[in-house]
Amino acid sequence: MKFSLKILLWTIIVMALALGFSGFYFVNYVFETSLEREVGQAMDESSILGFAFETAALSVPAKYSVLPDNTVEEIASNLERGGQSTSRLLRISDEEKNVLYTSDGFEMDDELLFQTGENIKTYRIINVGEKYFVHTGTTVNALNRILYLENMKDVSEVFTERTMGFSLYRRVTLIMLFAGMLIMQIISSLLTKPVRLLTEGTKRMAAGDYAYRAKQISQDELGQLTKDFNSMAGALEQNIEKLEEEIEAKEEFMGAFAHELKTPLTAIIGYADMLRSHKLDEEKSIMSANYIYTEGKRLETMSLRLLDIIVAGKEEAELQAVPVEPVFAYLEEMFVGSREMEFHFAYEPGTALAEINLIKTVLVNLVDNACKASEDGGRIEISGQALENGYRFAVRDYGIGIPEEELHKITKAFYMVDKSRARSKNGAGLGLALCVEILKIHQSRLEIESKTGEGSCFSFVLAKGGVQE
């Protein structure tokens, strides 16, 4: 069952119960009030009749010390005729509660009569056929006699009005329920419109339309739900795009990796087959062996770099505040004298929050890339600067530089600005990708400045509390 239909159904049920109970209470309240008024009038009329009877008894001749029965009948008859317009019905009984006078149509049992006593007034509501009466009883003290006067007042109109009231209210209730149903249908449709839009959104997102956004048409809880849904959809779309980019990057990575493997393996297989199947002179044999060795070393380097990248991407380093001097000393020992380059070291003393071995790997890769980008004898500057909240490392070369349009690509695995130059120096395009992964662990990033033909500068900042801009 739809939510809007549930709202409509429960509203109709509540309205029906509310109108039913309120209608019953209202009609019954009017009935009780009217009946109470009629009972009061009947009791007053009974008192008046009693007083009139006693007054009439005073006119009896003095020769009678006790009111005769025939006089009682005469007085009662006169009282009845005087109330013909109100359909008055009377009954008079003596001290022994024997009936002395009864109006035509006064067909009633003696239950109320025996409940009536001296100075005690009684009444009851009775149904006779299709009519309703107020049956009252009172005592009359007339000329040394105690008589019992009963009166019946027709109150059928009150009961008829109650029946008509219930009938009218039922019709009004049905009309109000029908009108309420139409109104609530419109209201429930408006209230559930955000839910329908969200439902449509979930269907479209399930079908792959992650760009869909539900229209926010209110500022209430449903509006907030729509806003949260759109925020979730935006985050999901970003995650999907990120996953797609990662999948694309992995596909590019695998393609590049296959290409990088194919070239040296083809050469290795070719030269090995030549050595195996042909008798070569010493020079060609040495050249072939050297080529096999060189390409083999390049494959070894590439595989180790790939392993480092995989490990670095999953590693959670334990960062410690360490002095920077041993790092620069390590670089001097490793590169100075082993490369035909002009190395210049300029660094300030200080400390950095780092995993020392990983940072050494970053700097070794940056210096190695600087050497590959420079001609033999080129100048390589390795510097360190103490900052207020950290330490900046920088490696600068004056080599071939990087075109501006290539800067955003160079940190991707297997990307090389000059493939022939990098390959000739056993490069595989993995060094900067490894640096990026290691710096992510240190909550830092690689900053690159470069101009074609003028050289490049690679730097990063290590500091407590995260990345320093």
Q: Please report, to the nearest 10 degrees, the dihedral formed by the alpha carbons of residues 461, 462, 466, 469 taken in order.
A: -10
Per-residue pLDDT at 427? 43
pLDDT score at 170: 84
Strands 379-386 and 342-347, by their bridges, are parallel
> Which one-letter DSSP state was computed for residue 142?
E
Question: Following DSSP, what letter does each residue of 391-425 receive, concatenated?
Answer: EEEEEEE-SS---GGGTTTTTSTT--SSHHHHHHT
The torsion defined by the Cα of 299, 300, 303 and 308, in degrees rounded to 10, comes to: -140
Determine the Cα–Cα distance for residues 15 and 138; give it in Å rounded to an integer: 48
Which token pair is 39? 């009972």
pTM, rounded to two decimals: 0.43
| Cβ–Cβ under 8 Å, residues 151 and 163 | no
Identify any residues that bridge with 448 across adjacent strands, giving them in sequence order.
458
| Cα atoms in the Cβ-side hemisphere of radius 13 Å centred on 243 | 6
Q: Please choose, from the candidates 220, 159, 164, the residue with its C-alpha nearest in 3D space to the C-alpha of residue 190.
A: 220
Cβ contact 216:222 at 8 Å: no
Q: How far apart are CA 402 and CA 116, in angstroms?
A: 123
CA atoms of 186 and 229, how far apart (whole Å): 25
150 contacts: CB under 8 Å, gap ≥ 6: 90, 91, 92, 93, 106, 108, 112, 113, 116, 135, 136, 137
The total of other beta-carbon atoms located within 10 Å of residue 95's CB is: 10
Q: Express each pLDDT in 46-99 by its tens digit.
A: 888 888 888 888 777 666 667 778 888 888 888 877 754 456 788 888 888 888
State both tokens at 263: 């070239």
Cα 447 to Cα 249, 319, 395, 411: the distances in Å are: 21, 21, 11, 11
**Which residues of the chain are under the pLDDT cut of 70?**
1-4, 61-65, 83-87, 218, 221-222, 249-264, 295, 298-317, 408-409, 412-431, 464-469
Can you give the pLDDT at residue 422?
A: 43
Alpha-carbon gap, residue 402 to 368, rounded angstroms:
16
Q: What is the pLDDT of residues 370-419, one digit of tens each?
A: 988 888 889 999 999 999 889 999 999 998 888 887 776 677 655 554 44
- Single-letter code of the amino acid located at 169: Y
d(CA 392, CA 396): 13
